[in-house]
Amino acid sequence: MVIDCLAHCPAPPDCPGSDVRPFGRSVRTSERPNVRTTVRPFVHAFTLIELLVVISVIIVLAGMMVAVIGALGIGSKKQKSATILETVRQAIEVTTAQTGSVLSPAEHPLAGSFGGPGQPRAKFVRLASPNTALAVNVGALGGAGEAIALKGVALNNLPTAAQARLLLDDDLFADRDLPGLYGMKRDQLFVLGGKLLGVTRYRRLPAPAVTVPPTLIADPDDQSRFPAATNLVASDSGPEANQRTLHYVLGSTNAMSELAKLGALFTPPDDTGLLAFGRVWGDPKIVELKHWKPGMINDPARSGAATQAWRAYRLRGLAVYDAWGVEVLASVSSSGAWRILSAGADGTYRWHPSNDNVLDTDAFATSPAGDDRDGARDNVVSTIGE
C-alpha cells in the first residue's frame, strides 16, 4: 500500500512514528513496516499571466537600456564631431596667421556651377518669391549655346532670358535626390578641397556701376567684352587637388594627424565607379537601398529609372568627414567669416524627410511640411570671425 504523505501529513518529517525523508524518497515506517510512503516535493509553477508580466517588464527595461545606450552613442559622436570641427577651425586660423591668406573652399561637387551636355547643373531655386527654378541644361562647352552659369552681378543687370543662369548666394538647393543638402543656401555649400573638373565652371561678370535705372548687360556671352582669359572660372583638376589643398590649409599644424586619429579623413581607394555624372565616388561595398539614409544619393544619372536606388557616396580624393561619416561643409561669408558645419546625427543640414523618407517640404519653406522635421536642430557648427 502506498500512502501519499502530502495528503495525510502537512509536514511529512513530523509524522509520528515515521522516518520519512523529504524530496520524494520512498521509505518504510517503523510502526507499519509493510507500508511504503512517497514524499512529493512542493513545486510552485508560474501562471501564464505572471510569465507575461515578467516578459513585459524585461521588454520595457531592454527598451530603456537601448534608448540610453543610443543617446550615449549620439552624444559621443556629437562631441567627436565638435572636436573634428574645432581641429579644422584652429588649423585654418594658424595657417591664415602664418601666410596672411588661406585658400577659399571649393564648391560642393553635388552643388557646383558646372554643367555640360548630358551633365545638368544641380537643381536650385530662388529664395525670393516666386522661387523660380534655375536653369540646369547646358550646351556644348565654349559654344555659342553653352548657357554658362553667371556670377558677379544683380538680377536687374541681366536680360530676362539670362536671369535663370545667374547664381546668387542665397539660392536654395532643391534636388530631392540628395536630402542631406536639400534646402541649403548656395553660399554654404562648399568643402575644403580643390576646384575639380566637372564641378566648377562659370563666367564672372564685372559689377556695373550702380545707376538708376540699373545698367543692363545686354549680352553676357559677349566674349569680346568678357573673354575667357579674364572672366572664366573653371578647373580641370583631378581629385589629387583635394589633397594638395588640405595639406596647405591644415598642414602647418598637427591637424592632419589629429583628424586621422579621429577617423575624420577618408580617401577613396580608386577613382572609378563614380556617381552623379562623375562628381562623387560610389562605395561598392554598400548595396543599393530603396530608402534614403544619411550619406546617400539617388543617383541623378539614373533619371527616369522606375525605382529609386540610394547609393552611399564619398567625395573624390581626400576629404574631411564628421563622426557619422558625412562630409563636413566649410564656407566663407562675404565678410570673411568662416563656418564649418556637420549635419549631425540625422545626416541633413536643413530638412529631414523623416520616417517615410520622402521630402514634403519645399526648399524655400520656413517650416517643415508633412512628417518632415527641421534637420538643422542637431547640426554641429564651428565659426571663425562671426
Choice between 199 and 6, residue whose per-residue pLDDT is larger: 199
Contact criterion met (CB below 8 Å) for 73 and 161: no
Residue 165 lies in a domain: no
Residue 372 lies in a domain: yes
Omega of the bond leading into 208 within 30 degrees of 0 (cis) = no
Residue 56 lies in a domain: no
Q: Which residue has the cell 579623413?
A: 265
Same-domain status, 87 and 31: no
Residue 150 lies in a domain: no
Using DSSP's 3-state secondary structure scheme, residue 60 falls into helix
- pLDDT of 1 strictly over 80: no
- pLDDT of 27 strictly over 50: no
Same-domain status, 270 and 380: yes
Same-domain status, 27 and 78: no
Omega of the bond leading into 130 within 30 degrees of 0 (cis) = yes
Contact criterion met (CB below 8 Å) for 313 and 281: yes
Same-domain status, 77 and 195: yes
Same-domain status, 10 and 123: no
Same-domain status, 6 and 129: no
92's CB contacts (< 8 A; 6+ apart) are 102, 249, 250, 338, 340, 384
Residue 12 lies in a domain: yes
Write out the residue range of the structural domain in which residue 25 sits. Answer: 2-38
Same-domain status, 181 and 280: yes
Choice between 30 and 267, residue whose per-residue pLDDT is larger: 267
Q: Can you tell me the distance from the alpha carbon of 342 to that of 96, in angstroms, rounded to the nearest whole number?
A: 22
Average pLDDT in the 274-301 region?
A: 91
Average pLDDT in the 346-365 region?
A: 94
Same-domain status, 109 and 7: no
Q: What are phi and psi for residue 207, nearest 5 degrees? A: -70, 125
Same-domain status, 92 and 239: yes
Same-domain status, 366 and 248: yes
Same-domain status, 93 and 196: yes
How many structural domains is the chain composed of?
2
Residue 182 lies in a domain: yes
Residue 256 lies in a domain: yes
Same-domain status, 13 and 118: no
pTM of the full predicted structure?
0.79
What is the predicted pLDDT for the residue at 4? 47
Residue 354 lies in a domain: yes
By C-alpha distance, which of 55, 84, 67 is closest to 325? 84
218-249: per-residue pLDDT in tens?
999 999 999 999 999 998 899 999 999 999 98
- pLDDT of 29 strictly over 50: no
89-137: per-residue pLDDT in tens?
999 999 888 888 777 899 999 999 999 998 999 999 999 999 999 999 9
Q: Specify the DSSP element, H or E, that contains 97.
A: helix 48-99
